[in-house]
Amino acid sequence: MRNPSSVTLLRRLFIFGGLTTPLPAAGMCRAAIRLPSSTLAFPFSAPREGERSVTGLLSFFLSSFSSFSFLFFHNMDDSPLQVLTVPTTPYPDQRPGTSGLRKKVLVFQTKQNYLQNFIQSIFSSIDLRDRQGSTMVVGGDGRYFNTTAIQVIVQMAAANGVGHLVIGQNGIMSTPAVSSVIRKFKAIGGILLTASHNPGGPDGDFGIKFNIANGGPAPEAVTEKIFRISRSIEEFTICPELRVDLTTIGKQSFDLENKFKPFTVEIMDSVESYANMLRNIFDFALLKELLSGENHIRIRLDAMHGVTGPYVKRILCEELGSPANSAINCIPQEDFGGQHPDPSLTYAVDLVESMKSGQYDFGAAFDGDGDRNMILGKHGFFISPSDSVAVIAANIFCIPYFQHMGVRGFARSMPTSGALDNVAKATKIQLYETPTGWKFFGNLMDAGRLSLCGEESFGTGSDHIREKDGLWAVLAWLSILATRKQSVEEVMVEHWRTYGRNYYTRYDYEEVDIDAAVEMMLELEVMITDKAFIGQTFNAGEKTYEVEKADNFEYSDPVDGSISRNQGLRIMFKDGSRIVFRLSGTGSSGATVRLYIDSYEKDLNQIFQDPQVKLAELVSIALKLSQLQERTGRSSPSVIT
């Protein structure tokens, strides 16, 4: 039995909009299985010029007012929900980058079927036999457009044969939690809605990332397949009547036509699931004593209004006993409180200032989706991400998980400093150097070759999941402090005295003209790969640097033999110093040029200098060689780390 009031309401909307032609009956609308491309556009696609017609305005109102769409189509009886096939036109710009597809929110909102095309490309990349009746996981960081996108994904998952979707309550689930849940449910993969540390809100960024069955980011072979499909896509399938309640924990079942089994959506408490995983990795009794015992330390954790807030509150405050006011900015917001959810000295200003006051012994910040972290000690003592993973490696048996599992290997991304290399050499543990992107660690972990890894971009993690994990890194550091009974600074200084120090900095030049950036990189590659470049010397101050090796980094995966080329330009000097240039694809517009400087120092009298002062000479050489400022028009970087 149809709902006449909803039909009447929608008819009035069309009359108000200037349409006087009577609408077809609801049943007639539902009867169509294949629709012309102008009939349904999802979501928020305004009718084009000249489309002031039944189909054009129907497209506009159905896409812009999804609640009316639901009321109009919804039957009060138990008849199966209909699956529709909608013609579409491909877009040429849906190539996933290192961390998925990232664009401005407006791109997803205003380009007709832009979201649907990419989601269909993901589903179509999975063999139909694997997809039918399968389980998939969906979660997002809560940024603007998150809920809208999830409803579309649910409708398309049902239409594409997925049998069971697991979704975080309110559509929110951290990236580490998604990885964990994929593995727990033995899902065929997961869709993550995040642009990580990029800004959110209506004028910000939105992103879609596909993780495979091991819980990790899709490898290049998969992302390239998705891209190929997106360039030739002609139609997508969707069940537009299906609406799911994201607020209530539990299972919801839906009958679809031509489906033998109901489609099930499971809304879960991802915080509790993730917390249970951490309980099996760390000694929670030891951590509770550190945070709430007689001689407890004072901590300050900044969730930056991202997805990690509820996890921090539940685990660190409620379970481990840290005071409620030790966690700040813990309510997820669509625009991250108007801030840039990047855990760095530049953007985590609230945390940095509070740590400088000396009130707190340990501080940490997390990014929008919870996979990145920044560690600070008392008075704002900064732990670089490269040093952080090295310290965890040197103290790895402070974590019970590794006492039981052992340590198989260490790995870092190529631009990350050599601090981890020093620990690997001293402990005789295999070290792997990979391209930037967590997906490169997954193969090594699945093959049993890798236990701990990190990237200079504030990412740290282990083989407990297949993503970097910000909260895991914080508990790892707290475990070290609890075991060694030292401060953050004492642990770091002792590490430098033992292994030497890698001075390190990164200059980011954001939203640079992409043509200028590409031309600069091409000409720089020609220069450094010329045989005559080897042996050249560069004088800076009182020091002379002689080139030992230079190349465009290429990685051969030791597990499957796949080769990844053009991963960054490297200039290596005889004293062990390095200059690295990369073009980054994690932004939503323009190009980001990243310049990395790494210089090892073993002289104990030289390990306490300011990195920016220590590395100034190498920075000068890098800028002169690349002519970066002249070519990009940038006199200074957007961010210095």
Residues 316 and 382 occupy one common structural domain: yes
Residue type, 177: A
Rounded Cα gap, residues 206 and 72, in angstroms:
29
Report which DSSP code applies to 317.
I
Q: Indicate the pLDDT class of residue 62, thresholds 50, 70 and 90.
A: very low
The per-residue pLDDT for 31 is: 31
Q: Are residues 320 and 250 in the same domain?
A: no
Whether residue 531 is found in the same domain as residue 508: yes
Same domain flag for 518 and 439: no
pLDDT at residue 550 in the model: 97
- Asked if residues 94 and 116 have their Cβ atoms less than 8 Å apart, the reply is no
At residue 16, does pLDDT exceed 60? no
State whether 390 and 466 are in the same domain.
yes
196 in active site: yes
Please tell me whether residues 590 and 607 are part of one structural domain: yes
**One domain, residues 455 and 525:** no
pLDDT at 192 over 70: yes
Beta bridge partners of 600: 502
Is 79 among the domain residues? no
Active site residue: 196, 230, 386, 584, which one?
196
CA distances from 431 to 122, 261, 423, 426, 434 (A): 33, 48, 9, 11, 10
pLDDT of 37 reads 46
Q: How many domains does the chain have?
A: 4
What CATH number is attached to the domain comprising 535?
Answer: 3.30.310.50
Q: Identify whether 84 is part of a domain.
A: no
- 80 domain-assigned: no
> Is residue 12 over pLDDT 80?
no
Whole-number Å distance between alpha carbons of 190 and 211:
5
Domain membership flag for residue 83:
no
Indicate the residue among 481, 499, 517 that finishes a domain.
499
Q: What is the pLDDT of residue 589?
A: 65
CA distance 197 to 98: 14
Q: What SS3 state is found at 29?
A: helix
Single residue among 499, 531, 555 that ends a domain in this structure: 499
308, part of any domain: yes
Extract the tokens encoding 69: 């769409």
Whether residue 67 is found in the same domain as residue 137: no
pLDDT band at 111 (very low <50, low <70, confident <90, very high): very high
| Amino acid at site 595 | L
Domain that holds residue 557: 501-640
> In the 8-state DSSP scheme, what is residue 415?
T
Q: How far apart are CA 391 and CA 459, in angstroms?
A: 14
Q: What integer is the mean pLDDT of 615-635?
A: 93
Burial-class residue 389 by CB neighbours within 10 Å (0-12, 13-18, 19+).
Answer: buried
pLDDT at 135 over 60: yes
Q: Tell me, yes or no, whether 129 and 213 share the same domain.
A: yes
Q: Which of 630, 635, 623 is nearest to 516 (CA)?
A: 630
Domain match, 33 and 134 both: no
Tokens 């969906």 belong to: 138
d(CA 494, CA 496): 5
Q: What's the CATH code of the domain at 346?
A: 3.40.120.10
Residue 78 lies inside a defined structural domain of this protein? no
Residues in Cβ contact with 404 at an 8 Å cutoff, skipping those fewer than 6 apart: none
Q: 203 with 126, same domain?
A: yes
Could you tell me if residue 307 is inside a domain?
yes
Separation of alpha carbons 153 and 147, rounded Å: 10
Q: Which structure tokens are listed for 328?
A: 């700040």
Within-domain flag for 418: yes
What does DSSP assign to residue 96? -
The predicted pLDDT at position 210 comes to: 97
In this predicted structure, what is the pLDDT of residue 468? 97
Query: Does residue 174 carry a pLDDT above 60?
Result: yes
Q: Work out the average pLDDT over 595-610.
A: 94
Domain boundary among 476, 499, 522: 499
Stretch 121-139: mean pLDDT, rounded? 97
343 and 281 in contact (C-beta within 8 Å)?
A: no
Same domain for 515 and 569: yes
pLDDT tens sequence across 417-447: 999 999 999 999 999 999 998 989 999 999 9
Query: What sections of 293-399 are H helices per DSSP?
Result: 309-312, 349-356, 385-394
DSSP notation for 40-104:
---SS-PPPTT--SHHHHHHHHHHH-HHHHHHHH-BSS-PPBPPEEEE----S----BTTBEEEE
Within 127-166, where are the H helices?
128-131, 146-159
Quick: pLDDT tens for 531-549.
Answer: 999 999 998 777 899 999 9
For 325, phi then psi, to 5°, come to: -80, 5
